[in-house]
């Protein structure tokens, strides 16, 4: 039976000992899960301010081989999507570390924007992928307040200040203004996808950028993702069986834990109506994709 020879036999044993002491390859795992942007005073969505520290720590791990993004988001704020993705790209290029995204239940709209921060994108065959578009929603309540006998009083300085007020009838000029803004945001989204995916996109742009979404298998055909697989399987195949997946999460101080603790209880005096609306909006965002 062969044995590791003691170092006293000469330098020939040093490479073997060095190999045994060599640390395993490390892949940092960043979880980007939830609606993107603010969803209420006590309901925090994904934002750069909340994710920046975790992103920076992920790129500082020793023996780092790659950063994996575990994306599970139905979208939200295009600004926060852009800021988070941009911060990831800046560090990836600065540190020369590859980034690989893994889409879970859904990576749609802003969630797909986050996935595009990666050099490669993987998904499950049943993941929901795409929704490259812009949506705005609201309610027209002018008829309701008339039935209730409520008089609407609104005073502004600036003729456009109250545009799209839900208690007033829609004006064609106001709707056009909103659609122009949506067009600008949609253009930025499309430009980012083109820049990140390049020639890998296989579908017609009219289809890809229509706001439609697809299951992972179809998204692979369209070039929106590079393959089907999960973090563990893909990373082990790429870096070996001994690769270490290290989840890097957001640090939360004792004051933040006290305020936003594990309990779902909302502090006394909180805006209950606002919380209810935020919860409904969050639920509707996920339900658009059947989740």
CATH number 3.90.226.10 given to 22-134+199-253+271-287: yes
Closest CA to 138 of 277, 288, 40, 44: 277
Those residues of the chain that have pLDDT short of 50 are: 1-11, 13, 254-270
Express each pLDDT in 235-245 by its tens digit.
999 999 999 99
Express each pLDDT in 4-55 by its tens digit.
444 443 445 455 555 557 889 999 999 999 999 976 555 678 999 999 999 9
d(CA 72, CA 94): 26
Closest CA to 35 of 90, 91, 84, 86: 84
d(CA 68, CA 290): 26
Map tokens 């920076």 to a residue. 56
Looking at residue 270, the DSSP 8-state letter turns out to be -
Question: What values do phi and psi take at 124, rounded to 5?
Answer: -85, 155
Q: How far is CA 242 from CA 166, 177, 217, in A?
A: 57, 55, 29
Express each pLDDT in 110-120 by its tens digit.
999 999 999 99
Q: What is the pLDDT of residue 211?
A: 92
Q: Looking at the whole model, is its pTM more than 0.75?
A: yes
Q: What is the pLDDT of residue 284?
A: 58
Consecutive H or E run containing 64: strand 64-73
Q: What is the pLDDT of residue 192?
A: 95
Looking at residue 138, the DSSP 8-state letter turns out to be -
d(CA 115, CA 225): 9
Tokens found for residue 81: 């999507």
């Amino acid at each position: 039976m062969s044995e590791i020879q003691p170092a006293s036999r000469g330098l020939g044993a040093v490479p073997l000992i060095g190999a045994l002491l060599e640390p395993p390859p490390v892949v940092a795992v960043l979880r980007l899960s939830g609606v993107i942007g603010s969803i209420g005073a006590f309901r925090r969505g994904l934002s750069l301010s909340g994710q920046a520290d975790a992103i920076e720590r992920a790129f500082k791990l020793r023996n780092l081989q790659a950063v994996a993004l575990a994306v599970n988001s139905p979208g939200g704020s295009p600004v926060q999507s852009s800021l988070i993705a941009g911060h990831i790209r800046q560090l990836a290029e600065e540190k020369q570390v590859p980034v690989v995204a893994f889409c879970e239940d859904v990576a749609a709209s802003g969630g797909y924007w986050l996935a595009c921060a990666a050099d490669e994108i993987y998904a499950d065959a049943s993941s929901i992928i795409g929704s490259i578009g812009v949506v705005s929603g609201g309610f027209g309540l002018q008829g309701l307040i008339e039935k209730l006998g409520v008089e609407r009083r609104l005073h502004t300085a600036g003729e456009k200040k109250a545009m799209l007020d839900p208690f007033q009838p829609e004006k064609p000029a106001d709707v056009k203004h909103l659609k122009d803004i949506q067009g600008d945001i949609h253009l930025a989204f499309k430009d980012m996808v083109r820049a990140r995916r390049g020639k890998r996109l296989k579908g017609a742009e009219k289809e890809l950028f229509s706001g439609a979404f697809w299951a992972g298998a179809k998204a692979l055909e369209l070039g929106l993702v590079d393959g089907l697989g999960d973090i563990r399987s893909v990373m082990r195949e790429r870096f070996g069986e001994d690769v270490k997946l290290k989840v890097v999460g957001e640090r939360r101080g004792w004051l933040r834990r006290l305020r936003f603790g594990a309990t779902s209880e909302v502090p006394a005096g909180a805006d209950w109506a606002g919380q209810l609306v935020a919860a409904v909006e969050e639920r509707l965002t996920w339900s658009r994709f059947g989740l």
